[in-house]
Amino acid sequence: MIDDNALSRRKLLGLLGGGAALLGATAAARAQHIGAGASEAAALHDPEAPVVGNINGDVTIVEWFDYQCPYCRRLDPTLRRVVYTDGGIRLMLKDWPVLGPVSAAAARMALACSYQNKYDQAHDALISGDARLTEPRIDELLAGGGIDVDRARRDLAANAGAIEALLARNNEQAEGLGFEGTPSFIIGKFRVPGALTREDLKRVIADVRKAKGDVRSL
């Protein structure tokens, strides 16, 4: 059963459409009012979620993604360029495997690579794949990215509970925020469902800094 708050969030986000859409200040305030704050706080402060870029950055971007999502794959190089060109962005990555069992297998293996301090390499290897994923293909891509795949499988077995708990939190947070597919983002105080262009990213990052009184630009 879907509660009234969830329906209200979906109606609000549905007004934005499925493409690149930025939440303005009024809509963001309304979203806070309808009860998404707890999910947002949990998403921003999960200590087990992988973080890349500047861990002390003044702007946080949180991305929910699926390794088989074509929009996530196309967006990733643009997102990384913006993060590393800017130098002041903390990028938190939320594995959200919504496209079936192979997506879940890829997410579990990527998170298992955290235990050899190679989540970022695993993420890059899997998100840059240009073919449909299979479990053998996941292993092939990870090996090509410099991952010890046998160790990753051992780490996955040894830490299955923690990995499943993190994936469950990612899903709970995404649903609590009203997101319905990948990619979806929090950028500062903006909730952004759908893919973004480089200009969209720059604009919303500038808006976040403007709200803080920081006039820095990309």
Q: Give the domain CATH number at 19.
A: 3.40.30.10
Dig out the tokens for 165 from the structure. 């708990």
- Within-domain flag for 175: yes
What domain count does the chain have? 1
d(CA 124, CA 84): 14
In a domain, 25, yes or no: yes
Pairwise CA distance, residues 199 & 78, whole Å = 10
Asked whether residue 92 is assigned to any structural domain, the reply reads: yes
pTM of the shown model: 0.81
218 in any annotated domain: no
Give me the mean pLDDT over the 112-121 stretch: 97
Mean pLDDT lowest for which of 62-71, 83-92, 190-199?
Answer: 190-199
| Interacting residues of 28 by C-beta distance below 8 A, sequence separation 6+ | 189, 190, 191
**143 domain residue, yes or no:** yes
Q: Which domain holds residue 12?
A: 4-211
Q: What is the pLDDT of residues 137-170, one digit of tens each?
A: 999 999 999 999 999 999 999 999 999 999 999 9
The alpha helices in 15-148, defined as continuous H runs, are 25-31, 37-44, 70-86, 101-112, 119-127, 135-144
Among the listed residues 129, 93, 99, the one whose alpha carbon sits nearest the alpha carbon of residue 111: 93
- 83 lies in a domain? yes
Task: Dump pLDDT digits (tens) for 24-68.
Answer: 433 333 233 223 466 778 888 899 999 999 999 999 999 999 999
- Is the residue at 217 inside a domain? no
